[in-house]
């Protein structure tokens, strides 16, 4: 089973030891991933704001979520 690299910052998104250092994540999300110790690591946890409709009378509400690609803690 793949294990979380300890070079990641704390949070739900992380790079695990299956990383082959292909650079794709760093190219696509340079604010989130960095090369550390010869592999990628999450250097800053991503945050997205999603606007959800919760009914006409209640208007709109912003939800803050984190998003990931390689793994999530349970
Ligand atoms: S974590 Fe990034 S560098 Fe490593 S295999 Fe996945 S996309 Fe490639």
Residue 44: name the closest of 16, 14, 20 by CA.
Answer: 14
Show the domain range for 41: 1-69
Nearest CA owner, ligand 1 atom 3: 21
Q: Per the domain annotation, does 29 fall within a domain?
A: yes
Domain count, the chain: 1
Per-residue pLDDT 10s for the chain (74 aa) are 999 999 999 999 999 999 999 999 999 999 999 999 999 999 999 887 666 665 555 555 555 554 444 544 44
Q: Per the domain annotation, does 60 fall within a domain?
A: yes
For ligand 1, whether the C-beta of 42 sits within 6 Å is: no
Q: Per the domain annotation, does 19 fall within a domain?
A: yes
- Alpha carbon 16 to its chain's center: 12
- How remote is the CA of residue 32 from the centroid of ligand 1, in Å? 12
Q: Per the domain annotation, does 74 fall within a domain?
A: no
pTM score: 0.70
């Amino acid at each position: 089973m793949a294990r979380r690299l300890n070079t990641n910052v704390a949070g739900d998104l992380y790079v695990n030891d299956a990383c082959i250092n292909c650079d794709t994540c760093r190219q696509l999300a340079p604010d989130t991933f960095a090369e550390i110790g010869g592999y990628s690591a999450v250097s800053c946890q991503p945050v997205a704001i999603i606007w959800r409709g919760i009914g006409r009378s209640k208007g709109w509400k912003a939800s803050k979520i984190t998003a990931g690609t390689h793994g999530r803690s349970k």
